[in-house]
């Protein structure tokens, strides 16, 4: 009898826990979501979101595309923080490479860094900002 009671309590606790806690995806930019920067028309699409990473910040890895470049980074529920890199497979050209910012359901506001020159060691200028608005499609 004790064993049956214990099993029913565990099952009920698991059910209540699942019903009352929000999933990680509820607080992160949505899978396959698209975000357009209106001035330059740059579009960002988030195509992959990992399971939650260990730790209290509620972070997950994100990946996708920005124009023709691959994008990879992290998004965290704590502080609605997002950071990602683009252009990892390209020719080291001088363009936005590093984005650090915050997200909401309507926008991703990110400070971005560009490489100042192709000289070594690399130096970055991070005084610029971009706002990506949530859109239904990346096609203009």
pLDDT tens per residue across span 1-22: 444 433 333 333 333 333 323 3
Residue 130, classed as helix, strand or coil, is strand
C-alpha closest to that of 113 among 133, 127, 93 = 127
Q: What is the pLDDT of residues 78-112, one digit of tens each?
A: 888 888 888 655 555 556 678 888 988 889 999 98
Q: What is the mean pLDDT of the chain?
A: 76
Rounded to an integer, what distance in angstroms lies between the CA atom of residue 138 and that of residue 21? Answer: 32
Is pLDDT above 90 for 131? yes
Distances in Å between the alpha carbon of 99 and those of 3, 10, 16, 47, 118? 53, 43, 38, 17, 19
Q: What is the pLDDT of residues 51-67, one digit of tens each?
A: 989 998 889 999 998 87
For the entire predicted model, the pTM comes to 0.69
Q: What is the mean pLDDT of residues 120-131?
A: 87
């Amino acid at each position: 009898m004790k064993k049956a009671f214990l099993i029913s309590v565990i099952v009920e606790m698991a059910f209540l826990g699942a019903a009352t806690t929000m999933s990680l995806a509820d607080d992160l930019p949505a899978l396959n979501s698209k975000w357009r920067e209106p001035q330059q028309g740059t579009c960002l699409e988030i195509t992959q979101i990992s399971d939650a990473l260990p730790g209290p910040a509620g972070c997950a890895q994100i990946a996708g595309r920005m124009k023709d470049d691959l994008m990879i980074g992290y998004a965290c529920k704590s502080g609605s923080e997002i950071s990602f890199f683009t252009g990892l497979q390209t020719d080291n050209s001088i363009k936005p490479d590093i984005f650090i910012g915050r997200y909401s359901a309507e926008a991703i506001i990110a400070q971005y860094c560009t490489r100042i020159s192709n000289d070594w060691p690399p130096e970055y200028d991070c005084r610029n900002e971009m706002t990506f608005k949530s859109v239904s499609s990346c096609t203009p």
